[in-house]
């Protein structure tokens, strides 16, 4: 067998040489990335990926198990693979391009036919109905490229691997034709609501659909049988193998074939929709006790099929909205800091939104977040905080929908500690809180985060009623900051993986800016005494903090802030400085900005600046926070290094935010992937224009 494998690898490599990657070749290519449970990628980096060629490599769920998704095309009777690894020789990929919402591949089929294959996962921050829909598009355009007409048939299928992370589970399925759509439905027989296995959902119905029409056939059966009927005859049997069975038992697949007829220089178009419908999305401990919350789309649509039907037929509008967002993100980013910056932010959009899910009803909507990959917590405050910039940039109301359940849970008396909760549940989709108070304690971090985010939302939306509504608990958290912020006791920050430490300079700064934020909140809500009291404390603390935190370079080295007070040899990314600019404060003097801007270039590594002196790795989200408030040259250094990393990293899974600054690889013990914190790459775009360098 070995020689055959080697030959196959060489063939793929030879075919591979031709593709371009625009604007970059990311570690993983987003395919269907729409929610925590519809989150499928192509691994591309050298460490487990194949360089970004979609024909010949199976797509994977973010947690790395295959979600079988196949595509075959027959041209004049010869079959070629264009998606996944179903067997036939691969088409030649000539280009890959990503935007904020799309991944588009261009394929050359034997010099005869060109295919344009677009994976579109819509992101509509200002249109909650569309944003709530748990589906993604695959659109395939085919045209003759040699001037001749060719007889063409197109095929695609999904496997039952999408319906459970456990391949020993039994699936069932059904086929329907409805409203001009051909629809495969596949689901786990033993529905386990609110449960996961390998991070895949263990409940709900998956759908794979395409338009009805002449030449469309379908078949459900063993992978080799269904694909074999297509490659031998160019069509399927319209039969359903109703021997419902275990996912890995003679691998059932759900296939469509479409005869395109004789195709010349007029392109033909075939659209597929993939998605997961869950009537009930998660359970939440809020004002009404523990309730199970529906997916928001159920407010707009009577059932799965109605939602699927709307989504599929909405492709024209959805494409237009997607293009608007793609263009806006690109031009804003290029205008703010150039093409490298656009490459970074546009790769972050689907990933950030893909960790989020709109639930509840039109009257009471929430946006819930899964802390993908690091531990699966629900609504982690210090994971919302780094993602906040993309929410402020796209629609600040979404930040409110994200904070609402945190306020509701704690204001209803479900959390016993004086400081802010860390998360709303140990594992998504359970937002059942921590009534015992035994969550992962990050007291200073989360109090600062909640106060800063509440004010950021109110400033952008003009909604100071929101601050009034939550004044008592914000005030309580601020009292905690007054007690604890200047000399933080030995505790973890959001970078818990880096270890705990006393007197963390950056953590203290967050607390002090949080106190100033409470002064502003007090001002906006008519609490004049609190406003002046908190302001005086913040000013007093920031003065003391400078004395404690800054090494003035008396030993000849460059001045900088330390990682912790008194440790002159230490340093770290001072990313909490960002909040001072985001909120428009003059609390922290410009000398601190200047000092840090001059310092970072002196410790630059190949792919960026280390997070702190304890390790050689860094965090891309915090680098972009730091860059947003740095001098132009230093900002551009951070952006250039991260853009280079995207192109060169050996990591092969969805855009990690934690990587080694010298090799670009994962730290040996940790693989963070697909995390929403990449919304933090929008830090520069979330700043008021007047606050940008």
291 binds ligand NAG (CB under 6 A): no
Q: x-or-dash pattern for ligand NAG, window 475-514, by CB under 6 A? A: ------------x--x-----------xx-----------
CA atoms within 13 A on the CB side of 186: 31
Q: Which stretch binds ligand NAG (CB under 6 A): 192-200, 305-313, 606-614, 630-638?
A: 192-200
Comparing CA positions, the residue from 15, 68, 65, 66 lying closest to residue 224 is 68
Residue 638, helix vs strand vs coil = helix
Residues of span 143-162 touching ligand NAG by CB under 6 A: 143
Binding-site member from 359, 531, 677, 685 for ligand NAG (CB under 6 A): 531
Candidates 550, 598, 603, 605: give the one binding ligand NAG (CB under 6 A).
Answer: 550
C-alpha closest to that of 286 among 461, 402, 186, 404? 404
Site string for ligand NAG, 398-427 (x = CB under 6 A): ------------------xxx--------x
Least distance CB 487 / ligand NAG (angstroms): 5
Pick between residue 310 and residue 487 the one whose CB is nearest to ligand NAG.
487
- Is 135 in a helix, a strand, or coil? strand
Least distance CB 663 / ligand NAG (angstroms): 33
Joined tokens for residue 441: 């304690």
For 85, the 3-state DSSP assignment is coil
* Angle, vertex CA 181, rays to CA 180 and CA 186, nearest 5: 155
Of the candidate spans 1-9, 45-53, 546-554, 618-626, the one that interacts with ligand NAG by CB under 6 A turns out to be 546-554
Only one of the segments 28-36, 463-471, 521-529, 572-580 lies at the binding site for ligand NAG (rule: CB under 6 A); that segment is 521-529
Token representation of residue 139: 């659109």
Count helices and strands in the chain by DSSP H and E runs: 18, 29
List the one residue from 170, 172, 240, 271 that touches ligand NAG (CB under 6 A): 172
CA–CA distances in Å: residue 10 to residues 13, 51, 486, 648: 5, 13, 60, 22
Write phi, then psi, for 564 (nearest 5 degrees).
-140, 155
**Does position 116 bind ligand NAG by CB under 6 A?**
yes
**Residue number with CB closer to ligand NAG (97 or 127):** 97
Residue 337 CB, nearest approach to ligand NAG (Å)? 26
For 354, the 3-state DSSP assignment is: coil
Q: Decide whether 210 or 478 has the Cβ nearer to ligand NAG.
A: 478
Contact segment (CB under 6 A) with ligand NAG among 217-225, 300-308, 540-548, 601-609 equals: 540-548
Pairing mode of beta strands 280-286, 430-431: parallel
**C-beta separation of 161 from 70 below 8 A:** no
Alpha carbon separation from 366 to 322, 378, 433, 466, 564 (Å, rounded): 23, 13, 15, 15, 38
* Beta carbons within 8 Å of 245's beta carbon, 6+ residues apart: 170, 171, 252
Q: Please, which residue, 199 or 397, has the CB nearer to ligand NAG?
A: 199
In terms of CB distance, is 362 or 540 closer to ligand NAG? Answer: 540
Site residues for ligand NAG, 82-111, by CB under 6 A, read: 106
Single residue of 6, 11, 14, 267 touching ligand NAG by CB under 6 A: 267
Q: Give CA angle at 673 (672, 677), nearest 5°.
A: 85
Tell me whether residue 117 or residue 579 sits nearer to ligand NAG (CB atom).
Answer: 117
Q: Is 379 in the site for ligand NAG (CB under 6 A)?
A: no
Q: Considering the complex, what minimum distance in angstroms separates the CB of residue 593 from ligand NAG?
A: 12
In the 3-class helix/strand/coil scheme, how is 164-193 assigned residue by residue? CCCCCCEEEEEEEEECCEEEEEEEECCCCC
Question: Mask 46-85, x = binds ligand NAG (CB under 6 A)?
Answer: ----------------------------------------
380 binds ligand NAG (CB under 6 A): no
Instruction: Name the H helices within 220-357.
Output: 223-233, 304-313, 315-337, 339-353
Asked if 566 interacts with ligand NAG (CB under 6 A), we say yes
Q: Confirm if 373 and 362 have CB atoms less than 8 A apart.
A: no
> Count residues contacting ligand NAG (CB under 6 A)?
31
Structure tokens at 330: 């690109």
Q: Rounded to the nearest whole angstrom, what is the least distance from the CB of residue 318 to ligand NAG in the complex?
A: 17
End-to-end CA distance of the chain: 59
> Interface residues with ligand NAG (CB under 6 A)?
106, 116, 141, 143, 172, 174, 194-196, 267, 416-418, 427, 430, 487, 490, 502-503, 523, 526, 528, 531, 546-548, 550, 552, 565-566, 591
């Amino acid at each position: 067998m070995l020689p055959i494998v080697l030959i196959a690898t060489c063939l793929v490599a030879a075919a591979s040489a031709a593709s371009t990657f625009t604007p970059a070749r990311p570690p993983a290519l987003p395919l269907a990335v729409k929610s925590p449970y519809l989150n499928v990628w192509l691994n591309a980096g050298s460490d487990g990926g194949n360089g970004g060629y979609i024909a010949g490599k199976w797509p994977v769920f973010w947690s790395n198990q295959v979600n079988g998704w196949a595509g075959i095309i027959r041209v004049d009777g010869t079959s070629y693979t264009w998606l996944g690894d179903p067997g036939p020789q691969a088409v030649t990929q000539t280009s890959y391009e990503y935007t904020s919402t799309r991944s588009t591949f261009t394929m050359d089929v034997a010099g005869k036919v060109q295919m344009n294959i677009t994976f579109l996962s819509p992101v509509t921050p200002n249109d909650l109905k569309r944003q709530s829909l748990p589906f993604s598009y695959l659109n395939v355009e085919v045209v003759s490229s040699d001037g001749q007409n060719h007889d063409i048939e197109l095929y695609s299928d999904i496997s039952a691997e999408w319906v459970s992370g456990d391949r020993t589970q039994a699936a069932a399925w059904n086929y329907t034709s409805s409203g001009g759509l051909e629809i495969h439905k596949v689901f786990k027989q033993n529905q386990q609501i609110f449960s996961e296995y390998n991070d895949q959902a263990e409940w709900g119905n998956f759908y794979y659909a395409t338009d009805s029409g002449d030449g469309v056939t379908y078949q459900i059966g063993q992978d080799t049988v269904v694909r074999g009927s297509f490659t031998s005859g160019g069509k399927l049997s319209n039969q359903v193998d109703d021997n419902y069975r275990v996912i890995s038992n003679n691998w059932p697949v759900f296939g469509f074939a479409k005869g395109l007829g004789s195709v010349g220089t007029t392109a033909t178009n075939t659209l597929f929709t993939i998605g997961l419908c869950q009537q009930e999305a998660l359970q939440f401990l809020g004002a009404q006790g523990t309730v199970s919350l529906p997916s928001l789309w159920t407010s707009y649509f009577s059932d799965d099929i109605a939602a699927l039907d709307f989504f599929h037929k909405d492709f024209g509008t959805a494409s237009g909205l997607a293009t608007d967002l793609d263009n806006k993100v690109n031009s804003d980013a290029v205008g703010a800091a150039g093409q490298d910056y656009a490459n970074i932010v546009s790769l972050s959009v689907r990933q950030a939104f893909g960790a989020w899910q709109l639930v509840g009803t039109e009257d009471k909507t929430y946006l819930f977040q899964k802390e993908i990959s690091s531990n699966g917590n629900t609504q982690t405050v210090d994971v919302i905080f780094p993602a906040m910039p993309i929410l402020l940039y796209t629609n600040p109301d979404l930040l409110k929908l994200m904070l609402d359940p945190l306020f509701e849970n704690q204001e209803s008396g479900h959390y016993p500690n004086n400081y802010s909760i860390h998360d709303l549940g140990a594992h998504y989709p359970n937002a059942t809180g921590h009534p015992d108070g035994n969550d992962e304690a990050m007291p200073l971090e989360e109090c600062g985060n909640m106060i800063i985010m509440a004010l950021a939302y109110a400033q952008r939306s003009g909604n100071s009623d929101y601050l009034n509504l939550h004044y008592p608990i914000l005030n309580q958290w601020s009292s905690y900051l007054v007690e604890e912020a200047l000399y933080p006791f030995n505790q973890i920050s959001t970078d818990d993986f880096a270890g705990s430490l006393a007197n963390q300079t950056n953590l203290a700064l967050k607390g002090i800016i949080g106190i100033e934020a409470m002064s502003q909140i007090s001002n906006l809500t008519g609490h004049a005494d609190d406003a002046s009291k908190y302001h005086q404390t913040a000013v007093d603390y920031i003065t003391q903090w400078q004395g404690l935190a800054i090494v003035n370079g008396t030993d000849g080295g460059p001045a900088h802030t330390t990682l912790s007070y008194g440790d002159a040899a230490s340093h770290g990314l001072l990313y909490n400085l960002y909040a001072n600019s985001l909120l428009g404060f003059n609390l922290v003097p410009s000398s601190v900005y200047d000092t840090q801007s001059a310092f970072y270039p002196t410790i630059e590594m190949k792919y960026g600046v280390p997070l702190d002196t304890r390790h050689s790795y860094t965090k891309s989200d915090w680098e972009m926070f730091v860059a947003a408030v740095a001098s132009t040259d230093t900002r551009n250094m951070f952006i250039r290094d991260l853009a280079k990393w995207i192109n060169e990293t050996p990591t092969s899974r969805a855009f990690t935010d934690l990587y080694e600054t010298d090799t670009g690889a994962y730290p040996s013990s940790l693989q963070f992937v697909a995390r929403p914190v990449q919304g933090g790459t929008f830090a520069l775009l979330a700043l008021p224009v007047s606050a940008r360098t």
